[in-house]
Structure 1
Amino acid sequence: QDYRVPAISLFAEENGDGARLTFSDSAEDTRAGGQALAAASIIVHSGLWLLYSKPFFDDDPYVLEPGGYPNLTAWGAKDPAICSMHPIRLGCPVVERAGEPQAVIYEATGFQGRSFAVSRDVYDLRRLPGPPLPTVGSLRVLGGCWVGYEKEGFRGHQYLLEEGEYHDWTQWGGYDEELVSLRLLRTDFSAPALVLFEAMDFEAGGSVELSEALPDTQLAGYGPVTRSIHVLSGVWVAYEGPNFSGEQYVLEKGVYRSCEDWGAADCRIASAQPVLQVRAAPSAPLPQIQLFSEPDFLGDHVCFEDDQSALPAAFVPRSCRVRGGSWTLFDGQAFAGEQHVLSEGEYPTLSAMGCLSSTVIRSLQKVPVFFSEPSIFLHGLECFEGKEIELNNEVRSLQAEGFNNHVLSVRVKGGIWVLCEHGDFRGRQWLLDCTEITSWMTYSGLQHVGSLYPLRQRRIYFRIRSRELERFLSVPDDAEDMKAGRVVLSSPSDQSSSVWYYEEGLIKNQVAPTMSLQVIGPAGKGAKAVLWSQNRMPRQTWSIDSSGRIHSQMFEDMILDIKGGRSYDRDHAIIWDTAEERPTQIWDIQVL
Structure 2
Amino acid sequence: MSKITFYEDKNFQGRSYECDSDCADMHPHFSRCNSIRVDSGCWVLYERPNYTGYQYVLTRGEYPEYQRWMGYNDTIRSCRTFSYQTSGGPYRMRIYERPDFQGQMMEFNEDCDSVHERFRSRDIYSCNVMDGYWTLYEHPNYRGRQYFMRPGEYRKFSDWGATCATTGSFRRITDFYWQSASTIIFYEDRNFSGQHHECMSDCADLNSYFNRCQSIRVESGMFMIYDHANYKGHQHFLSRGEYSDYQRMMGMTDCVRSCRMIPMHRGNFCMRLYERSDMSGQMMELSDDCPNVRDRFHMSEVSSCSISDGHWLMYEQPNYHGRMFYLRPGDYRCFNDWGASSPLVGSIRRLMDL
Which TM-score applies when normalising by structure 2?
0.47
**Which structure ranks higher in relative contact order (CA pairs < 8 Å, sequence separation ≥ 6)?**
2
Structure in which a larger fraction of residues adopt strand:
2
Bigger CA radius of gyration: 1
Which TM-score applies when normalising by structure 1?
0.29
